[in-house]
Copies of this chain bind each other. A is one copy, B any other.
Amino acid sequence: MVGHENSADGKRLVLEDAQLTLDNGSVLDTLTLAYRTYGTLNDDKSNAILICHALTGDHHPSGANPLTGRAGWWDNMVGPGKPVDTDRYFVICQNVIGGCAGSTGPSSQRADGTPYGLDFPVITIGDMVRAQNVLLDRLKIPDLFCVIGGSMGGMQVLQWAAAHGERVFSAIPIATAARHSSQNIAFHEVGRQAILADPDWHGGNYAAENTAPRKGLAVARMAAHITYLSEAALQRKFGRNLQDRDRLSYGFEADFQIESYLRHQGISFVDRFDANSYLYITRAMDYFDLAADFGGTLADAFANTKARFCVVSFTSDWLFPTSESISLVRALNAAGANVSFVEIESDKGHDAFLLDEPEMEQTIIGFLNAAAVARGLPLPEVSGAHND
C-alpha cells in the first residue's frame, strides 16, 4: 500500500520504497508519515505553512486531538481567524519520524511484524526535516510560505532554513537554539537514564514483554517538566501550598501541591507517549548543532537562504534562554538575512510558547501579514471603523 490515506487521527502517507537516507548512513525504505492539514492550498501553491512540533507534540496543533481527547497543542495559535489563520493559509503539521503518533519510529513494526525497538536508527533533526520534505514533494508543494515552531519545532525551522533554504519564504523559530546546550543535554541524559534504569524497559523490547517502563518514563517527564516552567511560575502557581491537607504529614506522601502536580504530569504522560520514542527524540535534540554542520560558523548555515526570519524568545525561559536567540540573530545578521527579533516578557518559562501570550500572537500576526504582502498574498479584509 502506497499513497495517502485518511485515518481517524489524521492523514497518513505510506511509502514502501521511500529510500530516505539518514544522517547516520542507514536508509529507511518503509516510511509512514502521519500528518494533518487545515485550510486550502491556493492555486499558486504559495500559501502553505508548515508547523513543526516539539519533543512530546504530534500532528494535531489545532482542533480536537483524537490522540488526547483534548484540543490541539497550539489551538490558541492555529485555526480560523487565529494568528496562523487556516482561512488564509494551507497549514500542514507532520508527526516527526522517531515519534509515536503515527509516523515511523521505534515502536513501528518492521516487515517481520516486530517493532524496531533499539534497532531503529538514531535520527537527527535533519532527518526529521528530510521526512517533511518527502511529504511536501508528495503533496506537490514547491515551497513553504512559512515554517514555524517552538523548542524542538524551532530547531526544525532552523534546519529547514539551513538545509532547504530554497523552499522557505519565511521562518519563525520560537524559544529555541541553534544548538542544544550542555545543561540541556544533561537534563535529557537524566531522563534517559531514568528510563534505562526501569527493569520494565527490557533493553527496549518491552512491547514483546507486554509491559512498558512506566515508572522510569514518569520520572523522566517529571524532571523535564520542571525545566519547562520558571521558578517564578512555580512559586506563583504552587508556592509551598499543601495538597488536600492543612498540615505536613511527616511522611513521603505528596504533601505539597507541586509534588502532586508533578506526579500527575509523570503518570499521565506515560499513557500517551512511548518510552523508546522519548530516547530517540531527546537524542535528536542533543545532536542538534547547526554551526557544527557548517564548519563551525553558524552564519554559514544561513548563507543560501533568502528567507525572512522572526525570532521569538521569552524572558523567563531558562531552557532556551534569550541568549541563545541572540546568538542566532547575530548569525542571521552576519549572513545578511532579513531578521526581526522579539523577546517577550513572561514569567511562564519555556512553556510560554504553548500558552496564551498576546504579545507572541501579535508578533506573529504582524510578521505573517508583512510576509504575505511580500509574497503577493491577499491580506484579510479589514472590517469596522476606517478613516475618511
Cross-chain contact A240 with B121 (CB below 8 angstroms)? no
Chain B residues closer than 8 Å to A258, beta-carbon distance: 182, 185-186, 189
Q: CB within 8 A of A240: which of B219, B222, B289?
A: B289
C-alpha gap A263/B188 in the complex (Å): 12
Cross-chain contact B197 with A216 (CB below 8 angstroms)? yes
Cross-chain contact A223 with B190 (CB below 8 angstroms)? yes
Residue of B nearest to A221 (CB): B190
Map CB proximity to B onto A232-266 as digits: 1 under 8 Å, 0 otherwise: 00110111100000001011101110110011001
Chain copies in complex: 2
Contacts A193-B218, A259-B189 known; A283 to B252 CB distance under 8 Å?
yes
Cross-chain contact B185 with A240 (CB below 8 angstroms)? yes
C-alpha gap A337/B122 in the complex (Å): 59
Shortest distance from the beta carbon of A357 to any chain B beta carbon, whole Å: 21
Chain B residues closer than 8 Å to A251, beta-carbon distance: 122
Q: CB within 8 A of A182: which of B187, B215, B219, B239?
A: B239
Interface residues on A, range: 35 or more
Shortest distance from the beta carbon of A234 to any chain B beta carbon, whole Å: 4
Cross-chain contact B190 with A287 (CB below 8 angstroms)? no
Cross-chain contact A222 with B193 (CB below 8 angstroms)? yes
Residue of B nearest to A321 (CB): B231
C-alpha gap A321/B235 in the complex (Å): 14
> Which of A181, A198, A252 has most chain B Cβ within 10 Å?
A252
Shortest distance from the beta carbon of A298 to any chain B beta carbon, whole Å: 13
Q: CB within 8 A of A183: which of B199, B231, B287?
A: B231
Any chain B CB within 8 A of the CB of A269?
no
Any chain B CB within 8 A of the CB of A64?
no
Cross-chain contact B234 with A193 (CB below 8 angstroms)? no
Contacts A181-B231, A234-B182 known; A194 to B194 CB distance under 8 Å?
yes
Map CB proximity to B onto A193-213 as digits: 1 under 8 Å, 0 otherwise: 110111100000000000000
Give the 6 A-B CB pairs with smallest separation, nearest first: A197-B215, A24-B250, A182-B234, A122-B250, A183-B231, A189-B259
**Chain A residues packing against B (C-beta within 8 Å):** 23-24, 118, 121-122, 179-183, 185-187, 189-190, 192-194, 196-199, 215-216, 218-219, 222-223, 226, 229, 231, 234-235, 237-240, 248, 250-252, 254-256, 258-259, 262-263, 266, 279, 283, 286-287, 289, 292, 318, 321
